[in-house]
A and B are shown apart, each in its own frame.
Chain A
């Protein structure tokens, strides 16, 4: 399968989308035709999965991003500063031009008191306050991952902290990059496009079409098995996992092409059904993730 898809111009060109854009940005910056953007990466109610995923990016990689594309102002997981010094740095660019990347949902219950991201001048700063203040002033806001885009796991039932996606509390457009986690290509390609041309073309859910235009089902290497009604009955089988509950037919993103971990593999390639992590409503509306007692017989 991989050899076949490797020869497909659709696949090979899509794999280069992010790197072409990032290299163009770096080239322009080196020629002084473009300035590095200020980038704030704010983590709200999440698991740090998206920043870890970003660190694992390859062609383009994180080193390109931090050293040649942007002034990386703030990220709580990566920066050397801590305590109030870190928060001071976070708010230091509040009056400048900056792009805001956000991972994690926003807890809204009791004015957001259940997620304190730091202290500023002796007072606790809630994630809710931080996103309101920094989000409204940012030149662009990018929701990185499913929690920031739509609430995601943080907002799953019973959602005790009343988490929501960041669009719910901001009065400006949020570009959404759902995925648990967000693939490094999706973020870096989107960021590079913004720096070059401004807002990319988005679908009706504010997802960039260059990464979110196609259903996984439509570019799945196991699609021929679906058409022929050859279905896996348990994990580990190399056929279509539709009867096990695969959410590829309702999930719109280019996972089969970009893949993960330096493009080594992706869930279906490792015999695990797509669980729809990049679909709005994940995880509640994508459950059950695996089913064994379903229809076995072909009824066509």
Chain B
């Protein structure tokens, strides 16, 4: 099944929980974003903000290695970035990430597992600025 059809099917099943997944599938895709995805989502999606994110997203995000990500730890004037499901987000000015730390976690790391254990199903990634993708290593 084509990638966009999977997304649409998931979206129809669980509209309220799927926003983050759509963004992650789309952003982390290795392929050029299928034009049909936006066409289909444009008809069905209710979350205007997410739609804007997808429409404004280009496939040419900077790629981060694990080593590069560690330098964005929010210390000594560096921005604070975290990676979740292959997407790199900026939490430098996110209120819940004071001093680049959050419930014992630190910026500059891949926090996919921690996110899944605490925030699964919560559409909270939409408000974060996307700054890149994680490179395959």
Binding site for B on A (CB under 8 A): 217, 226, 229, 242-247, 249-250, 273, 281, 284-288, 291, 293-300
Question: Does B62 touch A at the CB level, under 8 Å?
Answer: no
Check A295/B92 contact, CB under 8 A, given A250-B103, A287-B104: yes
B93 touches A299 (CB 8 A): yes
Query: Cβ of A247: which chain B residues have Cβ within 8 Å of it?
Result: 98
Query: Cβ of B93: which chain A residues have Cβ within 8 Å of it?
Result: 229, 242, 298-300
Most A-side CB within 10 Å, residue of B79, B90, B96, B103: B103
Query: Cβ of B103: which chain A residues have Cβ within 8 Å of it?
Result: 250, 281, 285-286
The 7 closest A-B pairs by CB, nearest first: A245-B99, A249-B95, A291-B99, A285-B104, A285-B103, A299-B92, A294-B99
0/1 interface trace, chain B 59-94, chain A, CB 8 Å (1 if under): 000000000000000111111100000000010110
Question: Does B101 touch A at the CB level, under 8 Å?
Answer: yes
A245 touches B101 (CB 8 A): yes
A250 touches B99 (CB 8 A): no
Q: What are 22 A-to-B residue pairs whose CB atoms are below 8 Å?
A: A226-B95, A242-B93, A242-B99, A244-B99, A245-B98, A245-B99, A245-B101, A247-B98, A249-B98, A250-B96, A250-B102, A281-B103, A281-B104, A284-B104, A291-B99, A294-B99, A295-B74, A295-B75, A295-B78, A297-B77, A299-B90, A299-B93
Nearest chain A CB to B92 CB, angstrom units: 5
Check A293/B75 contact, CB under 8 A, given A217-B95, A226-B95, A250-B96: yes
Binding site for A on B (CB under 8 A): 74-80, 90, 92-93, 95-96, 98-104
Check A246/B104 contact, CB under 8 A, given A293-B75, A295-B80, A299-B79: no
Docked Cα-Cα span, A196 to B103, in Å, equals 37
Docked Cα-Cα span, A299 to B72, in Å, equals 13
A296 touches B98 (CB 8 A): no
Docked Cα-Cα span, A285 to B101, in Å, equals 9
Most A-side CB within 10 Å, residue of B76, B93, B96: B93
Docked Cα-Cα span, A255 to B69, in Å, equals 37
Check A294/B100 contact, CB under 8 A, given A229-B93, A299-B92, A299-B93: yes
Docked Cα-Cα span, A243 to B99, in Å, equals 5
Residue of B nearest to A279 (CB): B103
B79 touches A295 (CB 8 A): yes
Nearest chain A CB to B119 CB, angstrom units: 13
A249 touches B96 (CB 8 A): yes
Query: Cβ of A294: which chain B residues have Cβ within 8 Å of it?
Result: 74-75, 99-100
Query: Cβ of B99: which chain A residues have Cβ within 8 Å of it?
Result: 242-245, 288, 291, 294
Docked Cα-Cα span, A156 to B91, in Å, equals 27
Query: Cβ of A287: which chain B residues have Cβ within 8 Å of it?
Result: 101, 104
Most A-side CB within 10 Å, residue of B79, B99, B101: B99
Residue of B nearest to A300 (CB): B93
A242 touches B76 (CB 8 A): no
Residue of B nearest to A247 (CB): B98
Docked Cα-Cα span, A249 to B101, in Å, equals 12
Residue of B nearest to A294 (CB): B99
Given contacts A242-B93, A243-B98, A249-B95, 17 further A-B contacts (CB under 8 A): A242-B98, A244-B98, A245-B98, A245-B101, A249-B96, A284-B104, A287-B101, A288-B99, A293-B75, A293-B76, A294-B74, A294-B100, A295-B77, A295-B78, A295-B80, A299-B93, A300-B93
Docked Cα-Cα span, A158 to B24, in Å, equals 37
Docked Cα-Cα span, A296 to B100, in Å, equals 11
